[in-house]
Amino acid sequence: MAAESVTRPLRIAVCGGGGRSASAAELAAAEETGRAIAAAGAVLVCGGVGGVMEAAARGAASVGGLTLGILPGDSAAEANPWISLPLPTAMGEGRNVLVVRAAEAVIAIGGEWGTLSEVALARKIGIPVVLLEPALTATLPLPRAAAPAEAVAAALEAARRSRGGGDVATPHPAPAP
């Protein structure tokens, strides 16, 4: 008896300022973005700790979404409480490569040098990037979104195109918040 293939959900990374560097507007946009990613049936990938990463994970978790946190340290305990699957790497900022590699599209929300490194890595390896609340990345020639829903729609479409239209899970509605 042949095994049936598994249909995998799209994987969308959200990158942005950690801890105190994220503004209130960026945190609100990240939480809304996380909710929209989960509602679309995609997996949220992020760095797993504070700031934009935590807000996006909180948003995704609030509607039952799967969240993957690729952590800088060596302990799963450092993940924020909304990470479903914490992956400790002990790689520090080097884990940015893994965040980007794990995604099929990236949404950058504000950010500083770490976010810029993720944007640059994504573009270097051909991963689509959408800017939301651009700060340090404002002058880069990349698609921009005016609102979280627009950023998620653009990222999902780019991820589908990069996947070639195959092996995409049919989205199922997330529970209402």
| 52 and 74 Cβ atoms separated by less than 8 Å | no
CATH 3.40.640.10 fits 18-92+109-136, yes or no: no
Instruction: Let me know if 125 is exposed, middle or buried by CB neighbors in 10 A (0-12, 13-18, 19+).
Output: exposed
pTM of the model: 0.83
pLDDT digits (tens, 9 = 90+) for 111-129: 888 999 999 999 999 999 9
pLDDT digits (tens, 9 = 90+) for 44-92: 999 999 999 999 999 999 999 999 999 999 999 999 999 999 999 999 9
Mark 92-114 as b/e (b = at least 16 C-beta within 10 Å): eeebbbbbbebbbbbbbbbbbeb
Cβ within 8 Å of residue 135, ≥6 positions away: 110, 111, 112
Q: What residues does each domain of the chain span?
A: 18-92+109-136
